[in-house]
Amino acid sequence: MLKILKYSFYDLVRSRWSYAYFLFYLGLGFVLLFLNNDVSKAIITLMNVIIVLVPLIGTIFGIMYYYNSKEFTELLLAQPIKRSSIFLGQYLGVAGSLTLSLVFGLGIPFLLYGLLRSDAIFDFSLLLVTGAFLTFIFTALSFNMGLSNENKIKGFGYAVLLWLFLAVIYDGLFLMSLIVFEEYPLDTFSIVATTLNPIDLSRILILLKLDISALLGYTGAVFKTFFGTQQGFFISIFMLILWTVLPIWRLIVKSKKKDF
Amino acid sequence: MKKYGLTLLIFVVLHVQEVCGNTIEVCQTCPLKSIKEGIALASDYDTLLVKKGTYKEFNIIIDKPLTLKGENYPVIDGEKKGEIIRITSDGVTVDGLFLINVGVSYTTDYAALRVVKSENFVIQNLVLEKLFFGIYLEKSNNGKVYHNKIIGDAKDEYNSGNGIQLWYSHNVSVDRNIVQGTRDGIYLEFSDNVTINNNSSTNNLRYGLHFMFSNHDVYTNNIFENNGAGVAVMFSKHIKMLDNTFRKNWGTAAYGILLKEINDGEISGNIFEENTVGINIEGSNRITYSNNDFIQNGWAVKVLGACYANEFKNNNFLNNSFDISYNSKLNDNVFDKNYWSDYTGYDLDKDGIGDVPYRPVKLFSYIVNRTPETIVLLRSLFMDIIDFSEKVSPVFTPDKLLDANPRMKRTQ
Amino acid sequence: MIQIENLYKKFGKNEVLKNLNLSIGAGGIIAILGPNGSGKTTLIKSILGMVVPNKGTIAISGVSIKNQWKYRREIEYLPQIANFPGNLKVKELIRMIKDLRERPSEEEVLISLFGLKPFLDKRLSTLSGGTKQKVNIVLTFMFDSPLIILDEPTTGLDPAALIRLKKLIQNEKEKGKTILVTSHIMQFVEEVADEIVYLLEGNIYFKGSIHDLKLKTDQTDVERAIATLTTANA
């Protein structure tokens, strides 16, 4: 697996898209910090970027790489290599190179800005960790879409649709159901609904740091224990890990059964 | 031995009577071993010097103008039997004592130190621990509560008391006190012309500072942090709140300041940081809010009910989850020349004022008011889209509520 | 060498292999023939583990290949359509495959045999079909494995390269290797194959030597014999 990872990774590191991604984050980091000089505001803007853009880029990159490396995959399948190693290696190559672009792209400007000496270091690391999780989750989801759809256009469409659903539509439906059923106690529902969407989950994880004062304004006891104690943080992290592991697991299972 | 002591006592008493304002010493090895004895023997304007040691006494009544002064913080242990010191005379000074173990009762408000219907008192440099009520001023005017440290261990509201309480007490100065772990840090009821400066009131169960029916009071330069519900100012007029810091008051009913039925006040130069609600305004009119910093609060300003003719000028709203929240569509308040960190407009004529007005009320804050659980959708892309459309054409939020002159940079 | 029992494979509603039984001994060149869509490639891919059968077992050297991958160390495969990662250079591709298999290889001889030296630094996406096929052949023959599977090896080759390929196949056969080959060029089949397996509608219709085939169909050349087999059933 490590060899496949190595080749996929080198392949991607050499591609201009990784550079574009890296430079985008580098530029964003510099603009936010040096034109603005407000770390808190920069982190809020970054949060918006991370919970929307990172999943989208993970999705598009993942699905593109999956279809583009079809020949490579077929070549490898005839070699004495475990199937799961082939797909896991490629997946980790994509997700890993994207994560590196993100971490370095944002990390360098923040380091230059002197973040290590600022209080925001924890918020910032949390942002990066969440971004990394989202990259891994959405790349895995898009690989799943690729495995299930031979047709490139279909697979691409479904993957982007999935992103659109999780990033926007899900929250719309969520909001509507909250308003429709507002007479009922909804705090358990809303926490569960949040954890069922990795984007919402990441958002809540960051909100726990950024907007804790607002989150504690609500009366429900479930909210109180979730947001007011460490519990919320650990549940969110646990769910994010689950969200990462499940698509990878399906990727392995599905790849074992697929014909090429 | 006893005879010798008695002669000394008589000598002291004679001595005191001869010279006005004499010093009487109380200590464990002195002829006078208790404060009560000392007070009984003392004449008006004497100083009672209490030496270091532990004195197990309660219900000490100071009924003449004395100075009760501790040396190296003698401990007066009330053994939870009741009130420790009660002042019933004008012109009393209490200084440098360590009062501990006040009795707890559900029927009587026992205090470590109570001043009743007395004037010109000075209460300073006291340390209070294990208390029920701390310093309780009852119908006592023209006094000073200075540099005391009150450390409570309140757990429940029903069996705890307030740190410093003023009841029908006017012209009092409360300065440089530290109050923590009580029910209300500082509580004022029917007390006018009180100045509360440079105090620190933290970790109290309910309010750091609580005003009821008290007018023309000023509080300046205080710090209120991590109190159960912040600071409450209710049913009062002409209150000035200047240069205070309100921090980390977190909870479902926690505010930097809760204003209820307050008219003609001034709130200026304060810092509101990381509170669930910075200022909660209910039925309050003609108040000027200027040069305050609202930093990372859940709601910087929450307006409930009818509030008229309030002015918000030159404030900085920095990275709050919500800047302003209204529960009605009516607006009679003025927002002008504030800095809003969420403002995205431009300044083509470079006069430091944005060319596009800023709408501080988001649709989402309206939704959260209606269905509080929706708070979990804070900062989601869907909400941003909805907020944007509401910004373009207001339907649910007051359409005249805007800052026509939003600043491009924060005011210093 | 290869035992296949009761093999079934469906793609959607399309049954490609229906209860296929086949036993192939060690050594020799076996041509797998059949009309388009008869299941040749599916059969080969099943042996390689690229296609997962619905039912049945495939054993190589007596060991079932289900969910296995190490047995592929003993197989060289030349795919029908040479699909390579386009942004790799020929040199890099060869190095990568060597790195993946961790076996001694003799690519130098093959590269000069097919005259690929000038192309080593070119990206695969820039190569012509024939050159790609030559690279494909180099990759297949550079290792020393007992089983070689060739899916349409002659595609796009010029006559000179074709002669070299045939020679290469004969050399390998002489080393005692088993070689499975599919082709539509009957002349090529006749020249190289020791045995013919004829697939029709997902099953084995004929298995035997070229001589048997000619006898059975009463024809004198293979091309006609095959055509007879096909039309007899159509």
One-letter amino acid identity for C3?
Q
Q: What is the pLDDT of residue A219?
A: 67
Radius of gyration of chain C (CA): 18
- Whether residues A75 and C87 touch (CB distance < 8 A) is answered with no
Q: How far apart are CA A87 and CA C85, in angstroms?
A: 15
Of A30, A133, A171, nearest in space to B379 by CA: A171
Regarding chains C and A, contact by 3 or more CB pairs under 8 A is answered as yes
pLDDT digits (tens, 9 = 90+) for B279-318: 999 989 999 999 999 999 989 999 988 888 999 999 999 9
- Name the β-bridge partners of B302: B280, B325
| C102 touching A (Cβ < 8 Å) | no
- Whether residues A81 and C69 touch (CB distance < 8 A) is answered with yes
| A182 touching B (Cβ < 8 Å) | yes
- Token digits for A36? 């603005």
- Whether residues A77 and C75 touch (CB distance < 8 A) is answered with no
Using CB atoms, which chains have 3+ pairs under 8 A with B? A
| C96 touching A (Cβ < 8 Å) | yes
Q: Highest-confidence range of B26-40, B214-228, C120-134, by mean pLDDT?
A: B214-228
- In degrees and rounded to multiples of 5, residue B353 shows phi and psi of -115, 130
The answer to whether the CB of A70 falls within 8 A of the CB of A63 is no
The answer to whether the CB of B65 falls within 8 A of the CB of B88 is no
C66 → chain A, closest CA residue: A256
- Token digits for B332? 């009679």
**Among C52, C83, C101, whose Cβ lies nearest the Cβ of A71?**
C83
CB-based contacts of C11, cutoff 8 Å, min separation 6: A259
Q: What distance in Å separates residue C135's CA from the closest CA in chain A?
A: 13
Regarding chains B and C, contact by 3 or more CB pairs under 8 A is answered as no
Q: How far is CA C14 from the centre of its chain?
A: 23
Query: What HEC string does chain A produce?
Result: CHHHHHHHHHHHHHCHHHHHHHHHHHHHHHHHHHCCCCHHHHHHHHHHHHHHHHHHHHHHHHHHHHHHCHHHHHHHHCCCCCHHHHHHHHHHHHHHHHHHHHHHHHHHHHHHHCHHHCCCHHHHHHHHHHHHHHHHHHHHHHHHHHHHCCCHHHHHHHHHHHHHHHHHHHHHHHHHHHHHCCCCCCHHHHHHHHHCCHHHHHHHHHHHHHCHHHHCCCCCHHHHHHHHCHHHHHHHHHHHHHHHHHHHHHHHHHHHHCCC
- Whether residues A207 and B378 touch (CB distance < 8 A) is answered with yes
Selected for mutation to probe chain A from C43, C69, C143 (highest A CB count within 10 Å) is C69
One-letter amino acid identity for B324?
I
Share of chain C above pLDDT 70, in %: 98
Per-residue exposure over A205-226, b if at least 16 CB sit within 10 Å of its own CB, e if not: bbbbbbbbbbbbbbebebbbeb
Q: What is the pLDDT of residue B147?
A: 96
The answer to whether the CB of B286 falls within 8 A of the CB of B308 is yes
| A256 touching C (Cβ < 8 Å) | yes
Per-residue exposure over C7-28, b if at least 16 CB sit within 10 Å of its own CB, e if not: bebeeeeeebbeebebebeebb
Strands B23-26 and B47-50 turn out to be: parallel
List of chain A residues whose C-beta atoms are within 8 Å of the C-beta of residue C70: 80
| C86 touching A (Cβ < 8 Å) | yes
- Whether residues A74 and C50 touch (CB distance < 8 A) is answered with yes
Q: Which residue has the tokens 């440098």?
A: B96
| A152 touching C (Cβ < 8 Å) | no
The answer to whether the CB of A86 falls within 8 A of the CB of A4 is yes
- Token digits for B171? 């012209």
- Token digits for B194? 């009180």
Chain A residues 6-65 with CB within 8 Å of chain B: 38, 40-41, 44, 47-48, 51-52
Q: What is the pLDDT of residue C232?
A: 67
Q: What is the mean pLDDT of residues C7-29?
A: 86
Asked whether the predicted pLDDT for residue B32 surpasses 60, the reply is yes
- In degrees and rounded to multiples of 5, residue A155 shows phi and psi of -60, -45
DSSP H or E segment with residue B179: strand B178-180
Burial class of B20 by CB neighbour count within 10 A (0 to 12, 13 to 18, 19+): exposed
Half-sphere exposure for C37 (CA within 13 Å, toward CB): 5
Q: Give me the total of CB pairs closer than 8 Å, taking one residue from chain A and one from chain B.
A: 119
**Among C45, C67, C88, whose Cβ lies nearest the Cβ of A260?**
C45
Q: What is the pLDDT of residue B156?
A: 84
| A16 touching C (Cβ < 8 Å) | no
- Token digits for A38? 């407000």
- Whether residues C84 and A71 touch (CB distance < 8 A) is answered with yes
Half-sphere exposure for C108 (CA within 13 Å, toward CB): 1
Check residues C164 and C227 and name the one with the higher pLDDT.
C164
Q: Highest-confidence range of A48-52, B266-270, C54-58, by mean pLDDT?
A: B266-270
List of chain B residues whose C-beta atoms are within 8 Å of the C-beta of residue A180: none
Asked whether the predicted pLDDT for residue B230 surpasses 70, the reply is yes
pLDDT digits (tens, 9 = 90+) for B78-103: 999 989 999 999 999 999 999 999 98
Q: What is the mean pLDDT of residues B103-109?
A: 85
Q: How far apart are CA B201 and CA B178, in angstroms?
A: 6
DSSP per position, B227-285: -SSEEEEEEEES-EEES-EEE---STT-EEEEEEEEES-EEES-EEES-SEEEEEES-B
Q: Highest-confidence range of B266-280, B361-375, C29-43, by mean pLDDT?
A: B266-280
**Among A175, A199, A213, whose Cβ lies nearest the Cβ of B298?**
A213
A246-A251-A254-A259 Cα dihedral, nearest 10 degrees: 180
CB-based contacts of C174, cutoff 8 Å, min separation 6: none
Strands (E), B8-157: 23-26, 47-50, 54-55, 60-62, 67-70, 75-77, 85-87, 93-95, 98-100, 111-116, 122-124, 127-129, 133-138, 144-146, 149-151
List of chain A residues whose C-beta atoms are within 8 Å of the C-beta of residue B254: 216-217
Class of domain C2-232: alpha beta
The DSSP secondary-structure symbol of B8 reads: H
DSSP per position, C206-227: EEEEHHHHHHHHT-SSHHHHHH
Q: How far is CA B411 from the centre of its chain?
A: 27
Give the mean pLDDT of chain B.
89
Count the neighbouring beta carbons within 10 Å of the beta carbon of residue B169: 29
Asked whether the predicted pLDDT for residue B363 surpasses 50, the reply is yes
Q: What is the pLDDT of residue B5?
A: 54
Note the pTM of the prediction, 2 decimals: 0.82
pLDDT digits (tens, 9 = 90+) for A99-119: 999 999 988 888 888 766 667
Q: What distance in Å separates residue C85's CA from the closest CA in chain A?
A: 5
- Name the β-bridge partners of C123: C89
- Token digits for C115? 């005259």
Give the mean pLDDT of chain C.
85
One-letter amino acid identity for C41?
T
The answer to whether the CB of B208 falls within 8 A of the CB of B230 is yes
- Res. B105 pLDDT band, cuts 50 70 90: confident
- In degrees and rounded to multiples of 5, residue C8 shows phi and psi of -120, 140
- Res. B14 pLDDT band, cuts 50 70 90: very low
One-letter amino acid identity for B352?
G
Q: Is the dihedral of CA B345, B351, B357, B358 positive or negative?
A: positive
Selected for mutation to probe chain B from A48, A164, A170, A175 (highest B CB count within 10 Å) is A175
Of C50, C233, B208, B278, nearest in space to A70 by CA: C50
Where are chain C's structural domains? 2-232
Q: How far apart are CA C201 and CA C203, in angstroms?
A: 6
Q: Is the dihedral of CA B9, B10, B11, B12 positive or negative?
A: positive
Selected for mutation to probe chain A from C50, C51, C101 (highest A CB count within 10 Å) is C50
Using CB atoms, which chains have 3+ pairs under 8 A with A? B, C
Q: In angstroms, how far is the first alpha carbon of chain C from the final one?
A: 32
Of B288, B367, B290, B269, nearest in space to B326 by CA: B367
Give this complex's ipTM: 0.85
The answer to whether the CB of B236 falls within 8 A of the CB of B217 is yes
Count the neighbouring beta carbons within 10 Å of the beta carbon of residue A184: 9
The answer to whether the CB of A207 falls within 8 A of the CB of B379 is yes
Q: What is the mean pLDDT of residues A118-141?
A: 88
| A203 touching B (Cβ < 8 Å) | yes
Q: What is the pLDDT of residue B6?
A: 53
Q: How far apart are CA B207 and CA B190, in angstroms?
A: 17
Asked whether the predicted pLDDT for residue C41 surpasses 90, the reply is no
Q: How far apart are CA B88 and CA B388, in angstroms?
A: 64
Q: How far apart are CA A198 and CA A237, in angstroms?
A: 10
One-letter amino acid identity for A259?
D
- Whether residues A207 and B379 touch (CB distance < 8 A) is answered with yes
Q: What distance in Å separates residue C224's CA from the closest CA in chain A?
A: 33
In total, chain A counts a number of residues equal to: 260
Q: What is the maximum alpha-carbon separation in chain C? A: 52
- Token digits for B26? 């109380």
